[in-house]
Structures are given as structure tokens and as C-alpha cells.
Structure 1
């Protein structure tokens, strides 16, 4: 028999599992929804601290009460914050647990508190302010009904379920978010399954992309003991689609699911595949974080195109983005057509880094414009993927020397699991101020749904304000089509987009 031990996330208690648990039980499984202290379980004594160790002990108590027995396999399921006490408990009962299921959650690391996994910077700051009060047993108040979205997409959750979620929510003990998780490494050897909710901005493809970028904490996810599922719903699948969740958990318990592809010499990551066009092998000039590709016969200051890579990209990624074939390919293509091609590295290593990345890009652009071989009054900026929010600064107040702004398969609004970005990084609002600035957007027809929504919202806003925008469609193209879709359609899209940018630079 499979024994599921279910652990819920911030502000919530065992009640969120009611429907999913009933479906698991009807399929013959034994189910225990853990009542964490202060979140549906025992209330701590006044003035005492409830921390992560308290919640780990809560999970351990259920594991120990269940016992192993012949033919009984314990599957721990952690949703959201709940994955932290789940992994902490599994690390101490490695011989008792058959599998860990990460339900739309992060990947806890030794020595890192759960607060680090909260994507919204404002929420993290709120928690830190509350913790600074010095009040023993301080807690974070639960969100109002219309604020759950800040903690994860509520897509698909019926109104009555959202009402109940709000009514039964508990203040979350701050100590559980602030105390670092301590692990021996035993849990890292267990079979595990990730269940990703695509409506919350997560997908297997995105995890694969992060693995491809060399993120150290994710390397082990390509092993044979790790499987993945996707659910087409928001962050609360036990409320939005409990039947699909129960079916998925049963499959996970059997070891089913999709596996990631390891990255090695015989299977290079997609971002290191060759550029789809044959471009001249021009020399580059490297200064700090900037590379310049100069036209072969430069007889005076030339216009320039600055190519801004996407992200977030782990700080440990090697090679760094300015050496990726797609960026060097575009830069050489531009230089071959008589303008200076520029690649750069900026520090968008996490969702919280957009302000730092924006500063890096602005500084790099000014250094490029100061180069005597560059015409400072004829510059174009070309953004890719996750650098889409950075376009907002340039549209909100376009300088006279900016002759064109282009974006390939951009993410034009925060994805649901990003939390809030600073107001300046919202392209759909900034485009109203773009005026006559020419815009070029290259749209991948096979884009992931969550990114495609942000693009359509931006295009709607651009149309509403009469922005000067040209859309280059790649109907059968995927995100990053320049390396993975080596088709005539893709080549034509690159030619057309570059042709538009060059026209605005040179006329």
C-alpha cells in the first residue's frame, strides 16, 4: 500500500487536501494530511517560537506513527513552503521514505531558509520587517482574498474554494521561514518527483533550460531517480483540479513521469548549439563585460546594435551569455552588414536582479556610445527572452539616439511565480510613452503559453496607444528558435528582423 503524507504551504492547513485526499483514498491509498503547528495543528504557547524544526518534528511524528510494515511505501508530498519540513523530515528518516514529491515548490538547500524561496521581493521584505519587531512568536498575517495571487497563481481555483482558503488561513509563524534548513544529504539520494503547475509559470522545459545553463543545484535532477509531471493549472492544484492531482500523485508513487536530459559532450544544451545562419568569423574586441564586433571595412563611426541576453542566468554559467552562439551570431551578422555588433554580460542571475541588470545594460550602452568607432546618435537595442522587462526603461523615456528597439521571444510581464517586479519593469505600461520609437517584436508561434500571454498583453497595449511596432512571426518556431529550429522559416525571420533594424539605423 502507498501511504501519502501531505504537507501544505504558507498560511494553510490540512483542509486544503480534503478533495485530493478523498480521491487518493478511493484509489486504495492511505492518506495523512499533516497539521503543522500553528497552521491547523496545535497552537504554540504564548511567547514561544515556532520554527522550521517545529514543523519538521510535526512531519516526523506522522512518519513514525505510520510505520513501514510489509508492502507499505511512504510518499511525502510537500506543496509550496511545505517542501521544507518535508525534506527536513525525509533527511532524518531516509530509510522510511520511498519518494518525495515536490508539488509546485522550490528545491530546498542546506543552510538556506524557506524565505529565500518566496519569489516576491516585497513579501520577503515584509517578513523581515515583521521579524525585526523582536516579538516572540511573531507571525506573518495571511493574505486577503485578492492577495493570494502574490503567493502563487490562483488560476482555476473556484470562488467558493478561494473564499474557504481565505476564511481558514492562519498567520504563518515567521520562525519557520527564517530558520535555515539543515540537511545531511540523505534526502538527496531518495527518488523524487516534481509536479509543476504550468499556470504558475513553471514547466519541465524551463527546468531543463536551467539545467542546461549549468545551475549547480539542479544538476542532480537529470538522474534516473527523478521524474516530472506538469499540471495545466495554477499554484493550488488541490483546489483547482484535485482529481488530476490525485491521478498524478498515484503515478508519481509508481515512479512514472518524464525525465530530464543530461547535458554532456554528446548532448550539448540548446543555448550552445550553432547559430542557424552562416555568418563571417569576424574578430572581437573584449573590454570588461562588453564585446565589439566591428565591420571589416570600417571607415568612420558606424551605427551599433547592442544585443541584450535573457535570463535569469546562474552566475556560475560558463560560457557566459556574450559567448553564446545566438548572441555572437547576431553580432557578427550585424557587423557583416556594416554596423557594430555588441554583446555583453549583465547580472540578471535571479528574478530579484532586474534593477541591477538594468544598470549594467545602461552602463554598457553608454560605454559603447563613447567608443569613437560608434556613431553615438545611431544605436539600436535588441533584447532576448527574460530581458523583456528591461525594455520598459527604454520605452518609458526613449533617448533621441535610440533608433530602434527589438525583442526576440520576450517575456513582457512577470510570470506568475516571479512575484512582483518594480513598477518600472512593466513594458505594457511603458509602451504608451514610446512615441515614435520603432519597435520590432519577433514572436515564436510555438511559445509556451505563459510567455505567450505576456506577449499578447503587450501587443494589445501597443495597439491601443498606436505604437510604431512591427511583428515578425515565426509560426512554427519555439522559444530560442535561432538554435533549435534550423528551418527556412526561422532563417527568414532572422533576416526580416535584422533588415528592419538596419533600416532604422541607416536611414
Structure 2
């Protein structure tokens, strides 16, 4: 049995994985969606980036899991990438779902035009509020799926501005990167560099940035296939 430990991107908690987790369990695997501190049912819990890294590591250690596939979507690729190198031989593979990847000394907001995000965080008492429904057009989502995202939690701003810390190259870890093509054809430069590693593979999905909503069955299939390459 493979143990999948999954975290979603900004504004979302463990509930974002409900459909994917059901598919994985039906196939005989174990799924552990994780809500990061400060989000969903954990709103009000103070959180920086290191808190989110510990959330992932603690889930693995608390449950006594081995043969673990860590799954990080969007923002959460940054804490998941750091957690992957900390759990040692418990790790089977790490899967980045249309995700940012940690770069030592850089934050989620580094390397792209993000002044509007910093301004929004400053204007909302240190939190980045969910975007409006119009911002999710063209991503393969139904109105109900968009509502689930828009009604998410304001995201703790410190987790987006604090730098990542890595002790080695992520290219040393066994990894799958899932690129969602409705969100752009090419991986970001940091990802493209890591994909040069023989331990990394690229998988494409013909959907938008939130495949756990738009194509949960297909995403679950890809996760299981990736685990088999561990």
C-alpha cells in the first residue's frame, strides 16, 4: 500500500482532495489530505513557511508512515519540497501538481511580478484573500468548483514571503511534475531546470490549475502511476 500525503495550494484545506482521496482509497491505497496551519479548519493558527513544512513532516511522523508519496499543489509545492528532503527514507516519491518548487533563499513571491500580492497582503492584515470567480475562467472548472475555491480561507501572508531552506538539490529526489496545460504550456524556469535530472519526470494534463476539482479521477490515476515508478 502506498501512502499519499497531499496538500493543496493557497486558500484551500484538506477538503480540496476529497474526490482524489476517494479514488485512491477505492484503488486500495491510503490517502492523507493535510490542512496547513492557518487555513480552513485551522484558521487562526499562526503560520509561517516553516510551520507549513512542519505540518507535512508531522503528518508523516505522527501517522508512522513509510513508503510515502508527498503531493503538493501550487503554493504547497514549496513546503512539500522542503518536507520531502526531511523525511528521509520514508519518502517514495514527491509529486508536484502544477506547483511552485522551493528554491533555497527564495520565497513563493520571488521571481514573478507579485507586487499586487504583497499589496493585497498588506491591505488585509497579513493575509492574501481568495480571488474573485472571474479569475478562474478558462481553467476547466464548473461554477460549483469555482465557488469552493472562492469560499476558501484567506492565506497567511508570511508563508508566501518567507524564504525556503534546502540542504541539497531537489533534483536528487525522485519526483514527478504534473503540468496543467490550460495554465500554460511550459513549466516555470526553476522546474524546467529540475526536469533535467534523470530522477524527475514530466506528466501533462489537459486541464487547468486545479485538477483535483476538474479531473480528480485522472489525477488519482497519474498519482498511482507515479508511485509505481518510485
Q: Is this a same-fold pair by TM over 0.5?
A: yes
After superposition, what is the alpha-carbon deviation per residue over 1:261-308, rounded to whole angstroms, capped at 9, x for unaligned?
A: xxxxxxxxxxxxxxxxxxxxxxxxxxxxxxxxxxxxxxxxxxxxxxxx
Whether the 8 Å contact between 2:172 and 2:197 is mirrored in structure 1 is: no
Report the aligned-residue RMSD: 2.3
Alignment CA distance shift 1:225-1:160 (3 Å): same
| Aligned position for 1:75 | 69
1:146 aligned to 134, 144, 154, which one?
134
* Rounded Cα–Cα distance in structure 1 between residues aligned with 2:69 and 2:166: 19
* Rounded Cα–Cα distance in structure 2 between residues aligned with 1:186 and 1:219: 11
1:158 aligned to 142, 156, 163, which one?
142
Pairwise CA distance, 1:44? 3.0
Alignment of 1:39-58 (within 5 A): 39-44=39-44, 49-58=46-55
2:164 aligned to 168, 172, 181, which one?
181
Alignment CA distance shift 1:65-1:230 (3 Å): same
| Aligned position for 1:472 | none
Whether the 8 Å contact between 1:141 and 1:172 is mirrored in structure 2 is: yes
Whether the 8 Å contact between 1:194 and 1:228 is mirrored in structure 2 is: yes
Whether the 8 Å contact between 1:91 and 1:186 is mirrored in structure 2 is: no
Alignment of 1:81-230 (within 5 A): 81-116=75-110, 119=112, 121=113, 124-132=114-122, 138-148=126-136, 154-167=138-151, 169-185=152-168, 187-202=170-185, 206=186, 218-230=192-204
* Rounded Cα–Cα distance in structure 2 between residues aligned with 1:242 and 1:217: 23
| Secondary structure, counterpart of 1:114 in structure 2 | coil
| Secondary structure, counterpart of 2:95 in structure 1 | strand
Whether the 8 Å contact between 2:69 and 2:93 is mirrored in structure 1 is: yes
Stretches of structure 2 that go unaligned for 5 or more consecutive residues are none
Alignment CA distance shift 1:220-1:11 (3 Å): closer
Whether the 8 Å contact between 1:34 and 1:62 is mirrored in structure 2 is: yes
Whether the 8 Å contact between 1:98 and 1:190 is mirrored in structure 2 is: no
| Secondary structure, counterpart of 1:60 in structure 2 | helix
| Secondary structure, counterpart of 1:77 in structure 2 | strand
> TM (normalized to structure 1)?
0.43
Name segments (4+ residues, structure 1) moved above 3 Å: 130-135, 215-220
Pairwise CA distance, 1:42? 2.1
Pairwise CA distance, 1:54? 1.1
* Rounded Cα–Cα distance in structure 2 between residues aligned with 1:114 and 1:50: 15
Whether the 8 Å contact between 1:227 and 1:255 is mirrored in structure 2 is: no
* Rounded Cα–Cα distance in structure 1 between residues aligned with 2:122 and 2:40: 25
Pairwise CA distance, 1:91? 2.2
Q: How many residues align?
A: 230
Pairwise CA distance, 1:107? 2.8
Task: Determine which structure has greater relative contact order: mean sequence separation of CA pairs < 8 Å that are 6+ residues apart, divided by chain length.
Answer: 2
| Secondary structure, counterpart of 1:194 in structure 2 | strand
| Aligned position for 2:24 | 24
Pairwise CA distance, 1:95? 2.3
* Rounded Cα–Cα distance in structure 1 between residues aligned with 2:190 and 2:160: 23
Alignment CA distance shift 1:187-1:97 (3 Å): farther
Pairwise CA distance, 1:52? 0.5
* Rounded Cα–Cα distance in structure 2 between residues aligned with 1:64 and 1:238: 25
* Rounded Cα–Cα distance in structure 2 between residues aligned with 1:223 and 1:188: 5
After superposition, what is the alpha-carbon deviation per residue over 1:142-179, rounded to whole angstroms, capped at 9, x for unaligned?
A: 11222235xxxx52212221122222x11011000000
| Secondary structure, counterpart of 2:96 in structure 1 | strand
* Rounded Cα–Cα distance in structure 2 between residues aligned with 1:134 and 1:33: 28
